[in-house]
Amino acid sequence: MTISKKEWKRIKVFGANVRRERVRRKFTGAWLTYPLKDEDAITAALESHEHAFASYKQAEAAETQRVQVRARNIGTLLTVLFFGIAIILLGCAAYLFFHNRLPH
């Protein structure tokens, strides 16, 4: 149902409440709208997938723990390796210094 140009001009003269009331009376009937939020559907979906989500969360926590342990072990190995190389280089430098075999 449409409102003619003449009716719109007549509606504009009155205040906002009068306009709203007249438009509401013109469009009586069922409005085709969707609900913005369906709490029952959200609750049902969460309950049905709660077990799957819990097992997924537990698997992710285990994977995170495994990656953290592996990263810590790699960091320790690299630290020991670099300190070993540094000690060997310092030993070579000390040997050359004390045995006076540096080129003149």
- Residue 104 burial (10 A CB sphere; 0-12, 13-18, 19+): exposed
The residue type found at 100 is: N
CB 1, CB 27: distance < 8 Å: yes
Mean pLDDT computed over 53-73: 92
Domain map (residue ranges) of the chain: 1-32, 62-104
CB 57, CB 49: distance < 8 Å: no
pLDDT digits (tens, 9 = 90+) for 10-60: 665 555 556 566 666 666 655 556 666 777 877 777 777 777 878 888 999
Q: Please report which confidence band the pLDDT of residue 78 belongs to, taking 50, 70 and 90 as the band edges.
A: very high
pLDDT digits (tens, 9 = 90+) for 13-22: 555 556 566 6
Q: How far is 27 from 76, CA to CA, in rounded Å?
A: 75
97, two tokens: 């210094």
